[in-house]
Amino acid sequence: MKLDPVVLRGVHVRLVPMTREHVPALWQAGRDPELWRWTTSQVHGEDDMRRYVDAALAARADGTALPFVTTEAATGRVAGSTRFANLEAAHRRVEIGWTWIARPWQRTALNTEAKYLMLRHAFEALGCVRVELKTDALNARSRAAILRLGARAEGVLRKHMTTEGGRVRDTVFFSVLDDEWPRVKARLEQLLADPPPARSASPETR
């Protein structure tokens, strides 16, 4: 099992492998400080975004991650980022996380379809038996969004991670298993068949 670069295409979203050339557009999309409220990494300028991208690309070079730039399919506009990470090939396990979406695309079909495409790739192309997601225990919106996908909450790891601001956070873990995927897939396809309208409004996971 390898995380080879791939473009994941949907009706609403296109996920393209991240490169350093994406830094300016990612910073334009990620200028809202609220996007970084719950993340372990803080991005407050283009130099921070460059370091963020460099760290993501280093993980890709290690073979443990595949970072994407989230773009709007119709326009090509950069809307945010997400990634596969913490690949455990021997155990056929991968994480979906490091997800943030700029305000104009929040609560639209963009993130739902991105998760659908990534889950489908994980189970149907990579052959995973388990996909993990996690978020800050205090991030109620993210927790609700992950549950809405059809993932199952597994528990809380207390004092699990230290943020760049120094807060020691609890982390909630979620998962989707291969034998649950058909049900989750059908649920996501139903949600995407009647997507909410675009609106002008937090990061998701990680």
Using one digit for the tens of pLDDT, what is the confidence trace for 160-172?
Answer: 999 888 899 999 9
- Does a structural domain hold residue 200? no
Residue 89 backbone phi and psi in degrees, to 5: -60, -40
pTM beyond cutoff 0.85:
yes
- Does a structural domain hold residue 203? no
- Does a structural domain hold residue 201? no
Residue 194 confidence (pLDDT): 82
Q: What's the CATH code of the domain at 137? A: 3.40.630.30
Structural domain count, the chain: 1
Model confidence at 201: pLDDT above 50: no
Buried/exposed code over 54-64 (b: 16+ C-beta within 10 A; e: otherwise): eebbebbeeeb
- Does a structural domain hold residue 105? yes
Report how far residue 26's alpha carbon sits from residue 200's, in angstroms, rounded to the nearest whole number.
18
Mean pLDDT within 66-91: 98
Structural domain harbouring 43: 8-193
DSSP state of 195: P
- Does a structural domain hold residue 151? yes
- Does a structural domain hold residue 78? yes
Structure tokens at 36: 């970084």
Residue 196 confidence (pLDDT): 63
Are 142 and 151 in contact, with CB atoms under 8 Å apart?
no
- Does a structural domain hold residue 2? no
Structure tokens at 206: 């990680």
Res. 101 pLDDT band, cuts 50 70 90 = very high
Report how far residue 28's alpha carbon sits from residue 78's, in angstroms, rounded to the nearest whole number.
8
Residue 202 confidence (pLDDT): 42
Mean pLDDT within 149-154: 97
- Does a structural domain hold residue 134? yes
